Amino acid sequence: MRDDRRGRTAARRRRARAALLAGAASAVSFALLAASAPAAPLGLGDRLFPYLGNPGYDVAAYDLAFTYSGDNSEPLQAVTTIAARTTASLDRVNLDFAHGTVGSVEVDGRPAGFTEAGDDLVVTPERPLPRGSWTRITVRHTSDPMPAPDRDGGWVRTSDGLAMANQADAAHLVFPCNDHPSDKAMFTLRITAPNDYTAVANGLPTGVDRGDRSTTWTYRTRHPMATELAQVSIGRSAVVHREGPHGLPVRDVVPTRYRDALEPWLTKTPDQIAWMEGKVGAYPFETYGLLLADASTGYELETQTLSLFEREVFTDPAYPAWYVESIMVHELSHQWFGDSVSPRTWSDLWLNEGHATWYESLYAQEKADRPMEARMKAAYGASDRWRASGGPPAAPKPPKPGQKIGIFRANVYDGAALVLYALRQEIGERAFEQLERAWVQRNRDATAGTADFAALAARVSGRDLDGFFQGWLYGDKTPPMPGHPDWKATAPAGSDEEKAATTPVPHGDRKATASAA
């Protein structure tokens, strides 16, 4: 009897081993089948940029390392390391990357397969990644500073080096990433450059390693950041330090030969920060400053903690002082609206640009006697045409392929500021100011969208604002302006009123210069 039990036990073990082997073979076959399927570009389905971002994971941190040779026409050697948590089981991981050569990829320290599909780098790990697991992806690649064909953004070549301009869909022209503002992450940036260069990036410096011929500079952010807001400056630059409100470190990066000429402008930043804090509350980051690049871009950019400006904005006497200062405030206000509180989708861009235009205009009114009401009346006159050409503020039309200004049209600048003006008229100045403060406080370091703003406005004001927001944000025609029944939403062609509404002064980003097209 004991021998029979032993026989039955051995038989059960053989059957169990066979089942396990069959299951394992089935799993391997499934993995091979999945891996053999053609790689394809993915995306988050954003209405304006459907192939930006990727499903299946959330990035927690980027570690970016760039090595610059001293020639801004040569590709940089780079290593991008991504720490992410999976939100689904993944046989493959799609990263956005489209303007460099990949040498190798590792997933959790093991070599991984990779291929290109559209604007995606498709990574196949040695083993599938289970849902809810942490993973580390390391990509060794080049980063090309020369312009990509029919693409705008990424590296900006300056007279003495490089800077970045990644908004809206260009960070993946610089480094592999999940290139959508809904996936914010912490950043460490390491830049190695010849010793006669200075490198500066988002966040605060954490180390400088000087060698015989080159120096490695390391910076880290203390708050999460969207990929479009990453900034690296490499140049023969001076870094000018001063103190802002509450001891805030303020550092500006300027071409060394223009340092003295630019100093009178740079001294204005601490007071501008204090002015913004008086409107919406404490500055949301660890540092701030201006990066004045010797380059021609046609716009300024709110890269987090280090806003990008064209140097000529400050040295060209054609720009009046009030205009330059209002541009400075435009980019500064983005640190609250767009950087700390990032758009959940690109259709929420009006919340970024409308608020920055609002505070730019309010600053010009208070400091330079440039009435906001006159600007808003002119914008109202052009609003129907802006809606027809670019879509309403919260539903802008998708950009055309290769179009330089993309979604940055007048409808998300003055058209969106006009919505905020109408809202203040509708709910009153006190409720509006409470709303602004509550918005940036509740959504600090997060993403938020149009529906969130509308809901908070209703809560703060105690009003049902569904009809108001539907008309002002999504309507083909501009609703009547509360308190100004005489304002007309059409202007005679060529009139002074229409010219005032379409002139690109003083758009802070100046991305809307072709908005009338």
- Selection from 482, 369, 378 nearest residue 429 by Cα: 482
The reported pLDDT for the residue numbered 402 is 65
User: What average pLDDT does range 335-355 have in this prediction?
Assistant: 98
Cross-strand partners of 104: 140
Min mean pLDDT across 29-33, 112-116, 137-141 is at 29-33
**In this predicted structure, what is the pLDDT of residue 261?**
95
pLDDT for residue 265: 97
Question: What is the arithmetic mean of pLDDT over 34-51?
Answer: 84
Confidence of residue 346 (pLDDT cuts 50, 70, 90): very high
More confident of the two residues 209 and 489:
209
pLDDT of residue 101: 97
pLDDT (tens digit, 9 = 90+) per residue, 129-174?
999 999 999 999 999 999 988 888 999 999 999 999 999 999 999 9
Q: From CA 414, how far away is CA 223, in angstroms rounded? A: 29
Instruction: Find the mean pLDDT for residues 432-439.
Output: 98
Question: 283 falls in which pLDDT band (50, 70, 90)?
Answer: very high
Across the range 279-292, mean pLDDT stands at 98
Q: Which domains does the chain have, with CATH numbers?
A: 53-228 (2.60.40.1730), 236-338 (1.10.390.10), 343-474 (1.10.390.10)
Evaluate whether 285 touches 305 at the Cβ level (below 8 Å): yes
Write down the pLDDT at residue 504. 36
Alpha carbons 13 and 11: distance in angstroms, whole number: 5
CB 488 within 8 A of CB 381: yes
d(CA 487, CA 417): 16
| H-type alpha helices, 321-370 | 321-334, 349-368
Q: Mean pLDDT across the stretch 91-104? A: 97
Strand 113-117 and strand 120-124: the pairing is antiparallel
* pLDDT, tens only, 444-500: 999 999 999 999 999 999 999 999 999 999 999 999 999 999 999 875 354 444 444
| Cα distance between residue 361 and residue 323, in whole Å | 10
Amino acid 487: pLDDT: 96
Helix (H, G, I), strand (E, B) or coil at 252: strand
User: Average pLDDT in the 177-194 region?
Assistant: 98
Count of H helices and E strands in the chain? 12, 21
In the numeric block, the tokens 């550092």 are attached to: 251
Which of 21-25, 359-363, 430-434 comes out lowest in average pLDDT?
Answer: 21-25
Distances (CA, A) of 57 to 131, 135, 229, 448: 9, 9, 20, 19
Write out the two tokens for 470: 């539907």
What's the pLDDT at 149?
A: 85
**What pLDDT is attached to residue 152?**
83
**Beta pairing partners, 107:** 110, 137
Percent above pLDDT 90 for the chain: 84
- Give the model's pLDDT for residue 167: 94
> Angle CA(419)–CA(423)–CA(428) in degrees, nearest 5?
155
Which tokens go with 333? Answer: 């206000």
Q: In the 8-state DSSP scheme, what is residue 172?
A: G
Q: What is the mean pLDDT of the segment spanning 365-382?
A: 97
The rounded mean pLDDT for the chain is: 89
